[in-house]
Amino acid sequence: MDKSGLTEQPFPKLSSDEVEQWFKGRQRVSQNKDSSSSSKGRQATDISELGFEARSTKDIAWHDVALFSNYRVLCSGELEVRVRYAGFAKEQDEWVNVKLGVRARSIPLEPSECQKVQDGNLILCFLERDDYALYCDARVVKIQRRVHDPTECTCTFFVRYLHDQSEDRVSWNRICCRPTEEKSAVYPVLALHSTQSSSPTFSLNPIESLWG
């Protein structure tokens, strides 16, 4: 045990089995809640067929996970994993809290499946600005649906990003659906100042200043 109050397990490469079991447990809880509720929800995809994505504490955005290289257990009993992001070098690895910052990978929306997206859905949406382009959590505010063929969706989706409450109008190819019907997204507590409210907003910095 080191001074930070955690136990680190130095394995050369961590299998995703432990993380997967955590997701399966959460999925069973979610399915039990859905079965006792009158709300409509999509059938959850078998988690074993999915990859993972993790939210970086550097840019508050979600990135595909290439591998989990290590793990450690906090004194609180919570699990953290050392994440290697897809497309990033080892130097950009981060420790991520499994409960708050790791989840099943979002699924890119297909033009023929736009009806799956409904008002109020939590989605992963591509946010593009002059100095960064990132995938961030957003809520669907409303949808302007149009008749179209299966190869090209012409619907317009109005979304509200969760990190700063800004709104945008996007097309289908900027949207990724969640494999389970989640009701909310939690942001890392460590990213907040003690003087901030429980519903903070985050400003995204130019990506080159964060990742080098």
Inform me whether the pLDDT recorded for 96 exceeds 80: yes
Torsion of CA 179, 181, 184, 186, to 10 degrees: -30
pLDDT for position 185: 57
Number of Cβ atoms within 10 Å of the Cβ of 150:
10
pLDDT for position 57: 87
Return d(Cα 126, Cα 61) in angstroms, integer: 10
**DSSP code at position 196:** S
pLDDT for position 60: 86
Q: Strand, helix or coil at 98?
A: helix
Residues 12-53: pLDDT tens digits? 344 556 555 655 554 454 444 444 333 333 333 343 445 899
Contacts of 183 (CB under 8 A, 6+ apart): 122
Task: Provide mean pLDDT across the span 44-72.
Answer: 80
Contacts of 204 (CB under 8 A, 6+ apart): 59, 60, 61, 127, 129, 132, 134, 136, 163, 164
Return d(Cα 53, Cα 64) in angstroms, integer: 4
**Residue 208: its H or E element:** helix 207-211
Inform me whether the pLDDT recorded for 11 exceeds 50: no
Averaged confidence pLDDT in the chain? 75
Confidence category of residue 114, pLDDT binned at 50, 70, 90: very high
Task: Provide mean pLDDT across the span 75-104.
Answer: 93
Share of the chain above pLDDT 90, in %: 52
Number of Cβ atoms within 10 Å of the Cβ of 206:
12
pLDDT for position 38: 37
Number of Cβ atoms within 10 Å of the Cβ of 210:
16
Q: Are 133 and 207 in contact (CB under 8 A)?
A: yes
Inform me whether the pLDDT recorded for 146 exceeds 60: yes
Inform me whether the pLDDT recorded for 126 exceeds 60: yes
Contacts of 29 (CB under 8 A, 6+ apart): none
Residues 158-198: pLDDT tens digits? 999 998 899 999 999 999 999 876 655 554 433 333 333 33
Q: Are 164 and 158 in contact (CB under 8 A)?
A: no
